[in-house]
Structures are given as C-alpha cells and as structure tokens.
Structure 1
C-alpha cells in the first residue's frame, strides 16, 4: 500500500487542505476538525482502498484506517501545507464564523488530543507491569532482584511522571510553551515538594497556606494548570516587548502559575478527580453485576462514536486515586467479544473475501484494536455485533460481580490479562471466556446468514447493482410499458414491490431527482448510469404518494434511502407500481445480466464492461 497515495486520496476526500483546520491520530483513526463537514465526500473516502470506514462524531471527522494510521498520518502531514494543520489547537473555522461552541465536542477533542500521543507507551508500560505481577505471583522472579527493579522502573516511570507527559501534550494542544508547561509539571513532583507532602507539612507562601497534596500519577490538576497557563501566557506576550519576551514570559509564568497551582488549581483538580472517582465507585457499589452488564454490552457502541476517551481518562484517574480500576476488566470482555464475533463469521462464511477480512479482524481485536472487526465485519453484518453485545454483557456481569480490579492502566486485550491478577481474577477468566466463546457460538449459529454475507460482499463489487426495493424480480420485457420493455432506454430489470422504500443499489452520486419524486438518476462510482423509475405512468400523480429523500449531487452508499412511496395508495389510484431499474449507458457494456435465478440474493444486475477494440493505435 502507498501511504502517500492513501493520504492524498483522504485529503482530497475531506475537501483539501483548505478545509482542514486540525488533524491528529489515535490508535486506528485520523481525526480531523474540518472547517465545513458538508464539503467532505464521505462515500468517496469509505470506498478508498485502505480506509475501513468514516465516523463523524463528537465534533471530529474520523477516518478509520487501522494499524497503519501512524504511517498514513506521517504521509498526510508531509503533503504541501499540511504540517501547519498537524496537532493544531484552534476552534474550527466554522465555529469561529458561526459563533457556535459545543462544550462536549471540545472536551472530547481536548482529551483525545492530550492522551493520544503517548497511549502506546502507556499501554506498553501497563502490560509490562502486568507481566511483572504475573512473574512475582508465580515466584519466577523476586522483587529484590536487579532485573525486577530495572523492569519495574521502566514500567512505572510513565505513570509516576504522568503530569509531565500530560503537560507537554496539553501545551501543544493549547498552543503554549511546552517547556514552560513541563517545568511547571516537574515542579509539582519535585523531590523537595514530594518530601514535604510525605511528612504532611504545610508550606507557607507569603502567609498563604499550601495544602500538601501528592501530584505524581495525577491527571486533572496539571490539565487545569496548563489550561490556566493558556490564558496567562498570551497576556504576558502582549505586555512584554518582543526583545525580552522569550525570557520574561516563561519567568513570570512560572512565578505566578506554580504557587497558583499549589494553592488553588491543584486542590481543585484533586477535588474534581475525587468526585469522578466517587461517582464511578457509587455506580459500581450500587450493583457491580449491573454495572458490568451495561458497560460490557455497550462499551463498543461508545467506541463507534469515538467518545470513549472520557472513560479512558476516568480509568487512568481511578488508578492514580485508588491504586486500581474496576472498569478496565469489564471493558476487556467487550473487546474480546468483538474478536469472538469476527471469528464466528470467519468459521461460518464460505465467502473467501469475507473469511479473509473477518479472520484478520479477529486477530487484531484479540490484541485490543477492534475497529477493523467492528467497521469491517460485525457492524456491517449487524447481527454479529448484537451477538457480541450479548456475550460481552453476560461476561461483563460476571466480571463485575467478582469485583475484579486492574492494577494499572493498559488497553484491554489478551495481553492485559496479567494486570487483572488479584481480587476476583478467576471471575475475570470466566467472564472473558464467556464473552469470547459466547460471541463465537452466538455468531456462528445466529449471527451470519448467506444473505447478509452476500450483501456485504456485493458492496465491494463495482460491476454489480443490488436490489433497491423488496419484491419480486421480473424481466424488463414483461413490464407493461413499451418503452421500458423494448429496452429502448437501456437494459435492466423490473421489480414488483412489496414495500414502499427505495434504497441505493450502488455507491455513487445522485445525478437527477424528478420533481414528482417518481424517478431518480444515479451514477455509480464505477460509471454505471442508472434510472430508477417507480411505477408506470405515475408521473400523472404529480408527486402525490412520493417523498424523495435525496437531492441532486448527493453522495449515496448502498442501502441509503432514496425515496419513500405509498404502495397501497398508488395501487388504489389504479397505477402499476412496478419499479424499473435501467442501465441507461448499456452501450458501454458487453452484457447486463439480470439475476432471476436466486431470489434470495440481493444482486439484481451484473454488468460486464465492453472490451477495448484492438487497433494500430492501441499497439503503439
């Protein structure tokens, strides 16, 4: 795969660099803040090789590309003019123009941007902590050994110095001097202040008492402090002349912000941190089983909208406050259930393309990256996703009832299991087995049908047209309209409908919508020009009983709703409701095959492109 080409295609799809206000990435997604989301061509991006899907949520336009996201991001930001937009921090231009401000979107945007850059290191350190816990539990290594002390330091460093990491990324996000921010964070966990805290001493700052608080491994205090710095630093830059600004702004920032943080911001952040921990503890305390059931079943639904970052923040905060987290073990069940559902599809389907996709997605999900499984397999087939939710809910309920604790933060996956050693560990094992194998079994027996797999496979074939309305497929020659029956307008098929909804039979663009709503023109991404005509002579109804749901030049994807019509009213008015699907550029194809053999297949037409003629000019 050419990452450079994929990056360029994605950039073109989102409307070019002029439409990009900000871009960064997480473990699997490119996250854009676009100046005008309506400019983005979502269907074009989704049909690009290398893109799994697109999610527009929480104020972010998210392009899911999977494990190669870092390489695609590097290629994207290396394109001309794109470096200026990487990890930018301003409100989107559309928000500035309209004055709209969505606090939830802004919060999700800030949290994801702050944690994303070092989540890999955080996860790796957490896994190492879990492995060390396993080794010491099994007496394979002693806590007094040099090897343990070295590896323990490696696993513990990012958690102990977490405020420094957060200060740096928050400063980049809020566009303040990152080295001043890091200095501020470093001061909070300076050995001299840590010693004062350990001795429970109170510092007197010009008569202001500083309450001793431990800031190592904390989250909210430093984020609030850097947020405050983002207001102070611009004021200082305006006040000081440019010739001395580089020295005096950092000086005054540290002189003001550290005491302010120790006296006000830090205690406030600690209170917020304690409050969140108390709320989560109260929910869990009300019914661990119910908490496990709900979070297990719905966690991956949260991931779909990309708003799981808030939960990640609270999990990290729990580890810092309590020394453990009770939600991570439950989330692990949700992750492994998606892996199980993808494996169930792999075992059940006979379609080679779907088997390859689901097999690779299952392996990826086992190691904590569920987007390929969700967007590529389970969500598209729908029922496997529901099977995974059921299995994860049951598994999560078991884990919750055992009140399993995670000793440190890491991404839930097979590799994270050692971090759940300790209280209720046997319950974790039982819950994960239920979530994974339950999803496999449910999906195998109830989650996959030949029709659903055919639908998924058909979507990827540019030479096929799927059935746009439920009903009986009939030859075009049998319809009661001489023009259509004679194929004068092109080859195609008729459908005697049993429902009143017409959906898109291809990925493409709406080329025309008749004012009366009874007909619509479409051009597929591969160049198939289609006319969908609802009923015979229904133009005389002058739009009655028809409701177009799209307009000219709209991008559409397979199964998107195009037109609603009242089937019974059309019949009552004395009109034949047969829907005709015509390939109006049939002359470009050697053959337009109508599927009359398999009524259970969603395929309606298969076109075979005309072979290019061979001439002397072709041979030069």
Structure 2
C-alpha cells in the first residue's frame, strides 16, 4: 500500500496500462516497453516524488526509482494487472538468441507445475515402494486411492501444460486447458473400440495409421495424448497466435465469446488431424534418438551428464533436457537422463558436510548446515551458489564425484520410471514397476554412496576449506563474528572492485548515475572481467541477471555496483554470479565474473558505476585521484 499511489501515477503518465506491452525492473529502475512513447508524460514523471529521473534507451522507457524499485514494481504490476492481462504483441520484448528463447519458453511452461509435479511423483514413488516391500497390495483400496492421487497429474498433464503454455505464449490459459481436455477426452482417446478401421494411412511405413473416424471427410488419426508433452505445447503455440489475431479482427461487442469459440473450432480439429499426429511421431522419434545415444555408451553418457549437470543448471541449459525426460517417460515408460544426473545433489551435500565439519569460518559453518539439508532433498542452489562456487575446489570436486556416480548408474542401466521427487525422494522413482527392487535400483544406492564418500573425502582433505581464513586470520569472518555489532555509520575506505580506468560520474552517458541522484561515487572502465567485494559485509541485493549487486558493509555503507549500461537486457548472458542475496562476503572476495568482449560485441558499454546509495549519511565522500586502479586499490574514502 505504501507505493500504491505512486504506481498508479506512473502507469497514468506512461500512457495508461493499454499503452504498456511489458514492464520489468532491474536493480534501480522500472523498464517499460511502450506501444507509443510519445503518449508518456516524461516531464511529469521526472517531477514526481519517488521518481529519480526518466530515460529512454534500447527501446525501453526507463523510470529510475532507486533501491526500493522491487516494491514499486510489485505495486505497478498489481495496479496495472500486467501479470495476468497485459497485451501481447508479435514485437513484444527482446527476441534474444534462439537458444535463449527456447530455454525461456521451456522454463516458463514447466516451472509453474514443478512443485505439484514433484509432490505427485513422490506419492507415486512411495506407493511403488510400499508395494515392492510388501506393505501394500495393488488390489487393495489404499493402493488404488494413493495411485489415483499420484497418477492424476501425469494422466492429465496436457491440461496443466495447456494452461501454462498458453499463458507463456500470450493466449488465454483456459483456452489452452480446453484444447488439452479435448485431447484426453475419453471417447476420442486412442482407438474407440471399433473392430475394423475405415482404412489405413501410410501403409507399409513407420507412420502406418488406421483411421476409425473422419472430420468432414478428412481422416483423423487418433492417438493417446494422456501424459504427452509436445502435442499440447505445439497446439497452444498456434492457438495463442490465432487467438491474438482474431482478437484484433473481432468487434468488441462479440469478442468475449467469438474469439474463444473460433479458436477452439479451428485449433482442436487441426490438432487432431495434423498437429497431434506429427507432434506424437516427433515425440516418439525424440525418445528413440535419446535412447539410441544412451545405448551407445551408458557409462560415458552418465559421466558426461552427471559431471556437467550443475554447470547446465548454472546457465539454465538444463531446461533443454527436462522436456526430453518428460517425453521419454510418456513415450517409453522410463527415462535415463534424470537417472544419470541423480548423484549430483548427494555429491554436493557431502562436499558441504565436509566444509561444515572442517571450516573455521563461522559464517560458512552457519550457512553449511541448512545448505547440506536442502541438498539432500534435491534443492542445491544454497549449497551451490552460497558455498561450493565461492570456494571453487568443492564445486569442482562435486562435479567429479557426480560424474563418477553418473557413470556407475549408466553401468547398472538404471532409469527412472516416473517423474517427480528430488534428492532422497527420487529413490522410489528408480523402482522398476514390474521387477521391483532389482539390480538397477541397487546400482542407484551404490552410485549415491560412492559419490558422497568421494565428495566428502576429497573436499575434507583437498578442498582448500580454510585457505582464506588462515591467510586473513586477523580479519576473516571467524574473528569478525566474535566482535560486537555496532549500530550506525563508521568512517570507511572502499577498495576498487575492478581493475581498470577511473572515470568520474559526470562523464557517464547515463544521466541517472551522472547526476548523482542515485548517490555519490565513481566509475571504472574495467580491463578484466572480475568483480570483487569492495568491503566486508552482506549482499543486500543481487539481480538475477548478475549484472548488478548491492553490498551493505559492516561499517554501514550501502554500495551499488552496476556492471555496464543497460546490460540487464542481456538477461544474464556473459555474467556469472558467485554469491547470492543475503550472503556474508569478505573484502576482496570474488562476486561476479563477466565477459567484457562479449558484452561489448553485443552493443553494450561495460563502464561500471560504484555508488554509495546512502550518501546522505556521510559528510564527505572522496574518490581517488588516480587514473587507474587495480583490484583492491583504494577507491573511495567515506567520512561520517
């Protein structure tokens, strides 16, 4: 409620919500993509309380807010209804590379259902486990109820994907759901009981298909779409395009029912006749190709996927493999991909356990306990970004241990037989539906055990756990943790987080930084793609794209470091973050790495402002007079 009026005023003066294609935010500003920037009242916005300034850059209309931009963004989204009702246009948003667009699409479709998917998979897995150990009978009512509870999502998976995919593609989600409902409609699923087909299409080929019904004389090839993935995604893609086109052509007085009616009348038959069969054949081909590659050498496949899975996760590339795994389970009843990467969370957990036991750094010890527990349950981000990556060696050891575990799983030929469940909850997914606790399942236990032992031993003895603490015994986290916390601001010297040429803020093209309205400071033109912490303190903010970070120092300074100008548009490409929000960091600790040449090649400057956002708390902020600075050189002197 604090920013409700400000949000309404901003929306009004960017031309109203009907003038907004999209709105996102970075670490200091709202970034609108407007239909017509001439409709925006720029001068009015600049004079508003709560708005620092307004800028136009790279096709975006940027309203600079400051540190509290996340709260203002939430208020703007709520006031404008942009999350659920913003218009979508063919030119909406940055296109990006084909790979980035594909990964963004897949993550947008599957992320909303991952929680309930994991829950359903766990129920199915435990139900299978209870049968395997003789606690339940498949004929019993308890098993049947639990099976229905766990199996419902997977049977009707196209309906959930119809909602999330249609929403991702910019259509009405409920239309996507109805399309999916038609695909799994019982009377039309599979072959509806006819003894003899009317005729057969593609006879003598791998696509041979009996035809039992026709649609206005056009043959309909009936498939089984329950548990399928690709057909509904393709169908909703075309449905969203058609719906938006019809919405532009249909008079408003009949738009509410004409648009969904004609979308369904066109897309549902088209899906049954063309999209569904082609997508199903493609699904089957994809599944067979995956299994063929796996069969070439399960051990090598396991070592590769197991060893690089966490790297894939860091760059978001794992989303390219998730739908293949889903498809494999739907088409073949099992999947090797999610089995081969199974050990990574256990290896990482064991590495963190070794750090927890051995570290002398009190902050690291405190973070290690919950990170270990979450990794055992398959949630690896706290351990990965908060502990393993900053220490480097434990991360590498985890990759090696996971690779060996993956190779063992490949050797035993283990596959998952149902989706859902992470970490220890994924064990039931390895139980064969007919053979029960077979050799392949035993191989899973061996692989997890070997991966954990290797990761623990190697990390404990060779992980370099206490190198930083030993080298900085007088100022390391362990000694600082024993000091009393003193409220208020202290005098402080800030070191240079970058190596490069020093530039005064007034010379920057970005007026929000150049004017000093965001705070006093200095800028550096980096010569090396490494950003270190300018002081010891806490990561108060880090943007998901890793292009900007905020540090609150132990002495009370609030430091904002923004790598480059408008680099948020790279969507994290060429940036690698090594810390997460809330992490305690040491002066000189590596925070972010970035590819200078790639960023410049993409058309963005890398000039980096280092701003004291609470400048009003100081009587004097003195930048260095040196023209160049190296990592760790004095940069700013702060006097209270």
Check whether TM > 0.5. yes
- How many aligned residue pairs are there? 468
Task: Note if contact 1:197-1:213 (Cα within 8 Å) is conserved in structure 2.
Answer: no
User: Within 2, Cα distance between the matches of 1:116 and 1:501?
Assistant: 32
- Asked if 1:366 is matched to 2:376, the reply is yes
> Partners of 1:527 and 1:384 in 2: how far apart?
27
Other structure's SS at 2:219 match: strand
Task: Answer with 157-166 or 333-342: which moved more.
Answer: 333-342
Shift, 1:449, TM fit: 3.5
1:145 aligns with 2:155: no
What are the residue-to-residue correspondences of 1:545-556 with 2, within 5 Å? none
Give the distance between the partners of 2:155 and 2:414, measured in 1 at CA: 23
Tell me the CA shift for residue 231 of structure 1.
Answer: 1.8
Stretches of structure 2 lacking an aligned partner (at least 5 in a row): 5-23, 35-56, 195-209, 433-437, 481-489, 500-527, 537-549, 558-562, 569-586, 594-614, 620-630
- The match for 1:419 is 429
Report how far residue 386 of structure 1 moved.
0.4
* Inter-partner Cα distance in structure 2 for 1:76 and 1:143: 54
Q: Aligned partners of 1:232 and 1:552: how far apart in 2?
A: 37
Q: 1:131 to 1:19 in 2, by over 3 A?
A: same
Of 498, 506, 526, the residue aligned with 2:534 is 506
Q: 1:321 aligns with which of 316, 325, 331?
A: 331
1:21-170 pair list within 5 angstroms? 78-81=74-77, 84-86=81-83, 101-170=96-165
Structure 1 partner of 2:346? 336
Q: 2:450 aligned with 1:434, yes or no?
A: yes
Match of 1:214 in 2: 224
- 2:534–2:632 Cα contact (<8 Å) kept: no
Segments of 5+ residues of structure 1 without an aligned counterpart are 5-10, 22-33, 49-71, 471-499, 509-522, 531-549, 563-584, 590-601, 613-620
Counterpart of 1:282 (choices 273, 292, 308) is 292
Structure 1 CA distance for aligned equivalents of residues 58 and 127 of structure 2: 47
Q: 1:76 to 1:407 in 2, by over 3 A?
A: farther
Separation in 2, partners of 1:468, 1:296? 35
Match of 1:233 in 2: 243
Which residue number in structure 2 is paired with residue 17 of structure 1? 30
- For the 8 Å contact 1:224–1:265, the answer to whether it is kept is yes
Offset, 1:405: 1.6
Maintained 8 Å contact 1:465/1:505 = no
How far apart are 1:244 and its partner, in Å?
A: 1.5
Corresponding position of 1:307: 317
Coordinate RMSD, CA, aligned:
4.7
Partners of 1:35 and 1:92 within 8 A in 2: no
Q: Say if 1:171 and 1:177, in contact at 8 Å, map to a contact too.
A: yes
Q: Distance in 2 between matches of 1:39 and 1:410?
A: 41
With over 3 angstroms needed to count, the CA separation of the structure-2 counterparts of 1:258 and 1:557, relative to structure 1, is: farther
Q: CA deviation at 1:280?
A: 1.4
8 Å contact 2:361–2:466 — kept in the other structure? Answer: no
SS in 1 for 2:77: coil
For the residues of structure 2 that align with 1:129 and 1:502, how far apart are their CA atoms? 46
Relative to the length of structure 2, the TM-score reads 0.63
In structure 1, the residue matched to 2:625 is none
Residue 607 of structure 2 corresponds to which residue in structure 1? none
Asked whether the 8 Å contact 2:211–2:220 carries over to 1, the reply is no
Give the direction of change, closer, same or farther, for the CA distance of 1:190–1:141 in structure 2 (3 Å limit): same
Q: SS at the partner of 2:134? A: coil
Give the direction of change, closer, same or farther, for the CA distance of 1:353–1:161 in structure 2 (3 Å limit): same
CA contact (8 A) 2:354 2:457 kept: yes
Q: Secondary structure at the match of 1:86?
A: helix
Distance 1:421 1:159 in 2: 17
CA contact (8 A) 2:30 2:62 kept: no
Q: Is the alpha carbon distance of 1:154 and 1:551 closer, same or farther for their aligned partners in structure 2, counting shifts above 3 Å?
A: closer
TM-score (norm 1): 0.65
SS in structure 1 opposite 2:448? helix
Contact 1:354 1:453 survives alignment (8 Å)? no
Q: Hey, what does 1:569 align to over in structure 2?
A: none
Instruction: For 2:175 and 2:430, locate their aligned partners in 1 and report how far apart those are by CA, in whole Å.
Output: 37
Partner of 1:186: 181
Q: Matches of 1:215 and 1:554 in 2, distance apart?
A: 42
Q: Any conservation in 1 of the 2:497–2:632 contact (CA below 8 Å)? A: no
Q: CA deviation at 1:115?
A: 1.0
Q: CA deviation at 1:229?
A: 0.7
